[in-house]
Amino acid sequence: MKKPRAVLFDAYGTLFDVYSIALLAEQQFPGQGQRMATLWRDKQIEYTRLITTSNHGAHYRPFWELTQAALRYTIKAIEPRARTEWDAGGFEDKHRALMGQYRHLSGFPETRAVLTGLRERGLKTGILSNGDPEMLGISVRSAGLEALLDHVISVEPVRLFKTAPEAYALGPAATGVPASETLFVSSNSWDALAATWFGYQTLWVNRQNAPFEELGVLPHRIGHSLRDVLAYLDAA
Amino acid sequence: MKKPRAVLFDAYGTLFDVYSIALLAEQQFPGQGQRMATLWRDKQIEYTRLITTSNHGAHYRPFWELTQAALRYTIKAIEPRARTEWDAGGFEDKHRALMGQYRHLSGFPETRAVLTGLRERGLKTGILSNGDPEMLGISVRSAGLEALLDHVISVEPVRLFKTAPEAYALGPAATGVPASETLFVSSNSWDALAATWFGYQTLWVNRQNAPFEELGVLPHRIGHSLRDVLAYLDAA
């Protein structure tokens, strides 16, 4: 394989720490914070897939709206009272607070140093995310990463979410670097899998010590933090 | 809406009781049976979606293989030792036993009576399932339902899983009854949602007392067992 000339990152869970959400959820729903954060994340991803597979994407809605819908579902799943007393039970306030937290996620501790390291090595850097442009813009600014990213690519123009090939194709179209010379980095194993199928070089950041998907393909490298991106490049 | 002339059922979880799997899983992995059954089911569905959205279905594999792969993943997720000691740890035996149970699922208690009731009312009956033809045939025979189903429709010919519209289109193509005059019945809320988007009349059998998906569309009816199918038809 050729040495990568560009590195594209998934955003939520990969550059931005979505797990911190569990702390606020725990305050709001004592004893349920971790379960709520997991269910919300799973449902958010499920909604992107339902939209992408149903009627060729005809029901597309921006990721922010799907994230809101997924949180509404999650609150109703965990707290049945919310199904009938959404307003009276104060659930709209909890929903708003959690969405506010989601809008201003922190980067992981190593995020800045790694992006800086890519700059020093002369590589192009970018995000390729299911997020819509507005929420991505806010996330990038909140984490102070604007100056370190050459491209912030949303799937919105194709109105299909990853893992649709039309979504992955936006990366090379924006950077001018073919997928085979681009390292795609994600902490989501399904994202690393599908990016490998698409033709990227791939690094799965296995933050949770999970097994990889059992679908017959492995990413080119498995790491445990974004620092493994630099290790991959220096060895390539 | 016109009175339905045909009824199509999802198979796994709707006609066939997949929840009984948790009992065997609990024997094999004490304290983890319910979690294992849930994770297996979620991963199985996730794999159908990854296959369907990635590279336009180029990586299609039969549902039976995806079910096996999902179980391998689940065992490795719940029992980290299985990642390195699959053979030595006896995990292949547990995997085989659980797959054997999946092959011979029971129908729900009301399944036969409801299908018989549809026959008495002169409606066409069928299954429209992600399952491949061989596993569907075995499931139908194991549950003793052959004589009560006019059509057993697998998505296999289109090599895409539900919720792809190509999969839902197989129903009217087989029965000759348009989707708008067909009642589609599923215990999976995502399936009831996407079938509604596609144009079926829909009944969601909410066996788990879950909230419905928050994507702006509701099924035409929500019930709690297959008996609600007859109630829907008699009121239509």
Instruction: Assign A129 a pLDDT band (cuts: 50, 70, 90).
Output: very high
Mark whether A110 and A204 lie in a shared domain.
yes
Residues A114, A229, single domain; the answer is yes
Note whether A141 and A28 are same-domain residues.
Answer: no
Paired with A203 in beta bridges are: A185, A221
| CB–CB contact A163 B54 (8 Å) | yes
Residue A229 pLDDT > 90, yes or no? yes
Give the per-residue pLDDT at B48. Answer: 98
Does A152 score more than 90 pLDDT? yes
Q: pLDDT tier at A18 (50, 70, 90 boundaries)?
A: confident
Residue B81 lies in a domain: yes
Reduce the DSSP state of residue A85 to 3 states and report it: coil
Provide, as residue numbers in chain B, all residues whose Cβ is less than 8 Å from the Cβ of A162. Answer: 53
Closest chain B residue by Cα to residue A79: B211
Please report the pLDDT score of residue B28 as a whole number: 94
pLDDT at residue A1 is higher than 90? no
CB contact under 8 A, B165 and A54: yes
| Closest-CA residue of chain A to B50 | A163
Task: Report pLDDT digits (tens) over B168-197.
Answer: 999 999 999 999 999 999 999 999 999 999
> Does residue B147 fall inside a structural domain?
yes
Q: Which of B73, B88, B103 is the last residue of a domain?
A: B103
The verdict on A12 and A73 lying in the same domain is no
CATH number of the domain to which B75 belongs: 1.10.150.240
Same domain, yes or no, for A72 and A157?
Answer: no
Is 90 exceeded by the pLDDT of residue A104? no
What does pLDDT average to over chain B?
96
Same domain? For A26 and A128 the reply is no
Binned at pLDDT 50, 70 and 90, residue A119 comes out as: very high
User: In a 3-state reduction of DSSP, which class is residue A96?
Assistant: helix
pLDDT in the model for residue B35: 93
Q: Where is the domain boundary, A56, A83, A103?
A: A103
A133 and A90 share one domain: no
What ipTM, to 2 d.p.?
A: 0.95
Above pLDDT 70, what percent of chain B? Answer: 100
**Alpha helices (runs of H) in chain A, residue ranges in sequence order:** 21-28, 33-53, 63-78, 81-84, 91-103, 111-120, 133-142, 165-168, 170-175, 189-198, 227-235
Residue A174 and residue A89 share a domain: no
Is A142 found in the same domain as A197?
yes
Active site residue A87: no
Is the pLDDT reported for residue A226 higher than 90?
A: yes
Residues of chain B with pLDDT below 70 are none
Q: What is the CATH number of the domain that holds A210?
A: 3.40.50.1000
Of A7-11, A13-17, A128-132, A227-231, the range with the lowest mean pLDDT is: A13-17
Residue A141: pLDDT over 90: yes
Structural domains in chain A (count): 2
Domain that holds residue A122: 6-17+106-235
The answer to whether residue A86 is domain-embedded is: yes
Cβ distance of B198 and A55 shorter than 8 Å: yes
A53 contact residues in B (CB cutoff 8 A): 49, 52-53, 160-164, 194
Query: A96-105, A124-133, A151-160, B3-12 — which is least confidently predicted?
Result: A96-105
Helix (H) or strand (E) holding A125: strand A124-129
Cβ pair A198:B55 closer than 8 A: yes
Nearest by CB: A50 against B61, B72, B194: B194
Between A and B, how many CB-CB pairs are < 8 A?
102
Residues of A in contact with B70 (CB under 8 A): 214
Instruction: Collect all residues of chain A within an 8 Å Cβ-Cβ radius of residue B197.
Output: 54-55, 58-59
State whether A116 and A166 are in the same domain: yes
User: Is A99 in the same domain as A127?
Assistant: no
Out of A103, A136, A156, a domain closes at A103
Q: Give the pLDDT of residue B19.
A: 78
Taking any CB pair shorter than 8 Å as contact, residues of chain A touching chain B are 42, 46-47, 49-56, 58-59, 69-70, 72-73, 76-77, 80, 83, 160-165, 190, 193-194, 197-198, 209-211, 213-215
B1 in a domain, yes or no?
A: no
Cβ A53–B163 below 8 Å, yes or no? yes
Rounded CA separation B162/B190 (Å)? 9
Give a yes or no: residue A1 inside a domain.
Answer: no
Q: CA dihedral in degrees (A65, A66, A72, A76; nearest 10)? A: 160
Residue of B nearest to A73 (CA): B214
Claim to verify: residue A98 and residue A137 sit in the same structural domain: no
Query: Which residues on chain A are in Cβ contact (under 8 Å) with B41?
Result: none
Residues forming beta bridges with residue B221, ordered by sequence position: B203
Instruction: Name the pLDDT band for A19 (thresholds 50, 70, 90).
Output: confident
